[in-house]
Amino acid sequence: MKSQAEWNKNIKFFLNLIASKKSDLVIGDETYEIHLALREYKEMKTFPFVMILDFVGLHAMTKNPLEHLGVYYWNRVWSHDYQLKIKPPYDLALFVGEPEDVHDESFGFMLPNRREMAKKMYLFVGYVFPFDVHAYADKESLREKFGYGKEPVLICSLGGTAIGKELLELCGKAYVIAKKKIPALHAGFVTGPRLPVDSVNLPVGAEVKGFIPRL
């Protein structure tokens, strides 16, 4: 419900923006609400729209039947254009990753296969790194550089939003269980730019950081 309210605000802002400004190109990074808005208000799309995404479809995380029903509904919405063989509201969809990153399974009962749809609807661009991955191949020197020894290290981090607070706290509970079996285990938690460190309930003894540039 919280996300839906934010989506509605974003859609309203976006529609007002494109109605008042002329755009040569619109690029949306995981802007699924804009996708839906342009699907509904086709007449307002007077520009090329490029969509960027890195996952396909939703999975239920609990056995709650209401959650499963909601996931099924949104997966139907996700596969709507492909299933009905109609042109999507975007002109190009870029998937950051490889086809193998998409589950080779159905969206749900009587719904299409996720990977099959992705291959036909999206352009896979591989992985995008702002650094040379080969420069980070020497694990021992990296451990020394960042102050770690030979102990096992667990790193849990949020992205650019605060949505994952509960998931980060769940990782903290898992760390407590794992540490009983692996006493030397060291855990580092990074809350990101939009979640204050003191607002997250994490285990005593864990290393907790806020926003870290170029993490």
Half-sphere exposure of 56 (CA within 13 A, CB side): 32
For 123-153, what is each residue's pLDDT tens digit? Answer: 999 998 888 888 888 988 988 888 888 899 9
Question: Would you state the pLDDT for residue 164?
Answer: 84
Residue range 42-54, pLDDT digits in tens: 999 999 999 999 9
Tell me what pLDDT residue 147 has. 87
**What local confidence, expressed as pLDDT, does residue 2 receive?**
59
Sheet holding 153-157, edge to edge: 153-157, 186-190, 207-209
What amino acid is encoded at 131 in this protein?
Answer: F
Hey, what are 206's tokens?
Answer: 């864990």
Torsion of CA 139, 140, 141, 142, to 10 degrees: 50
- Over residues 56-61, the mean pLDDT reads 92
- Mean pLDDT is lowest, of 53-57, 187-191, 192-196, 198-202, for 192-196
Pairing status of strand 26-29 against strand 49-53: parallel
Dihedral class, residue 29 (left if φ above 0, else alpha if ψ from -120 to 50, else beta): beta
103 has pLDDT over 90: yes
What are the extents of the domains in the chain?
Answer: 2-124, 137-209
What mean pLDDT is predicted for residues 157-175? 87
What's the whole-model pTM score?
0.76
Task: Check whether 195 has a pLDDT greater than 90.
Answer: no
> Is residue 37 within 8 Å of 14, Cβ to Cβ?
yes
Q: What is the pLDDT of residue 1?
A: 53
98: pLDDT confidence band, cut at 50, 70 and 90?
very high
Over residues 21-28, mean pLDDT:
92
Average per-residue pLDDT in the chain? 91
